[in-house]
Amino acid sequence: MQHLTTYLNVSRWYSLGWDTRGPALILRIQSEFARRVKKIPDDSHFVLGLKEHFGLGGFSGDLRGQFGFEGVFTREDPDNGFICFKVPFPVLNKEGGRCKYCGDGTDTEVCDCTACMGTGKKWSMDHHHAHAIVASLHAFLECMGSASIETHDPNPQLMEVFTSLGDGCYDLRGTFSKPLRGYLGTLSTGTRIACVEQAMIRSYSQLFGSLRPYASDHFRASVDHPEGWLNISCPGLDSSRISPFRDSFESSVAQAGEYAFVSDGVNTPCHQLVLLSALGALQDFADPLWREATRNPMEREEVM
Ligand SMILES: [Zn+2]
């Protein structure tokens, strides 16, 4: 079912976005695509497998109606030919009393404690809710990636994203398309993309209830090599990050074409969500900019 499409300027069929006020991830599906894509039956092997693995409840697989497990997506008004869903990010860390590993009577200072991340309070993540969200997004992204339906949207697809769900492994992978890569390639090495970093800071603070013990500078979205090599990272057990798949990047350099990205160190559903918020913010940021950046030089000269 999973594949990564090879495309140059394919008409857009879906996009991710980020609403910092919710905060919430935004999903937009081109309405022609939504009309023609098959509904995911709630008794399919795929859905039953996720339900059983994560102990999840009701699922709806109809993009024209409701989508996701346990109602974690909310339907929004359509926007410019796109069906929209919002995926609110809740506070998932329910603090449950004092941390027993630090503070009074222990050898560990609160600020150095890794058990409670320097908060002094016992951590208790709502894993069930976290899994309901990442499983819903997994089903959504599989649905987007499995159907080959041509749309006539005037904008190109800027990225394609897939997720994995497993014990201690919540990887992401996908493609940055030629127009997006073309735009990233215009940014000089060392450029930090502030709005993408801000999205991660916001989503992390929300999901974990606090940024502690980290600081803003632990969240990075930076062009670290020429030709649009983008690294995105947030603090994890080590560090959770998205970076270009080296072989794909190298082979695409000559054409400044699309390249594949992969993730590393994504050990919890929350870290997957933080990186998804970064990708949503990246798309919102690049959308008004790619057109100018990727226009061919001849055209640009004519305009000048
Ligand atoms: Zn502690």
pLDDT band at 160 (very low <50, low <70, confident <90, very high): very high
194, 304: one domain: yes
Whether residues 54 and 162 share a domain: the answer is no
Residues 163 and 304 occupy one common structural domain: yes
Range of the domain at 134: 13-90+126-154
**Cα–Cα distance, 212 to 40 (Å, whole number):** 40
Q: What is the whole-number distance in angstroms between the Cα of residue 236 and the centre of ligand 1?
A: 17
Q: How much distance in Å is there from the Cα of 121 to the middle of ligand 1? A: 6
3-state helix, strand and coil shares in percent for the chain, rounded to the nearest 5: 35, 25, 40
- Could you tell me if 143 and 232 lie in one domain? no
| pLDDT, tens digit, 9 for 90 and up, residues 96-134 | 788 888 878 788 888 788 777 777 888 788 999 999 999
- For residue 124, the CA-to-ligand 1 centroid distance in Å is 12
Number of domain units in the chain: 2
Say if 95 falls within a structural domain. no
Q: Is the pLDDT of residue 4 over 50?
A: no
Using DSSP, state whether 276 is helix, strand or coil: helix
Query: How far is ligand 1, taken at its centre, from the CA of residue 212, in Å?
Result: 12
Instruction: Using pLDDT thresholds of 50, 70 and 90, give the confidence band for residue 82.
Output: very high
Q: How far is the CA of 301 from the centre of ligand 1 (A)?
A: 60
Please tell me the distance between residue 232's alpha carbon and the centre of ligand 1 in angstroms: 28
Ligand 1 midpoint to CA 205 (Å): 18
> Mean pLDDT for the chain?
89
Q: Does the pTM exceed 0.75?
A: yes
Q: Give residue 190's pLDDT.
A: 96
Among 135, 154, 173, the domain boundary falls at 154
Cα three-residue angle 276-279-281, rounded to 5 degrees: 110
- Work out the average pLDDT over 14-22: 96
C-alpha dihedral (261, 262, 265, 268), degrees to nearest 10: 100
In this structure, the answer to whether residues 137 and 219 fall within a common structural domain is no
The verdict on 133 and 225 lying in the same domain is no
- Residue 9: the pLDDT is 64
Query: Is residue 211 situated within a structural domain?
Result: yes
- Could you tell me which of 113, 112, 116 has the C-alpha nearest to residue 97? 116
Closest CA to 177 of 81, 248, 226: 248
Answer yes or no: do 183 and 40 share one domain.
Answer: no
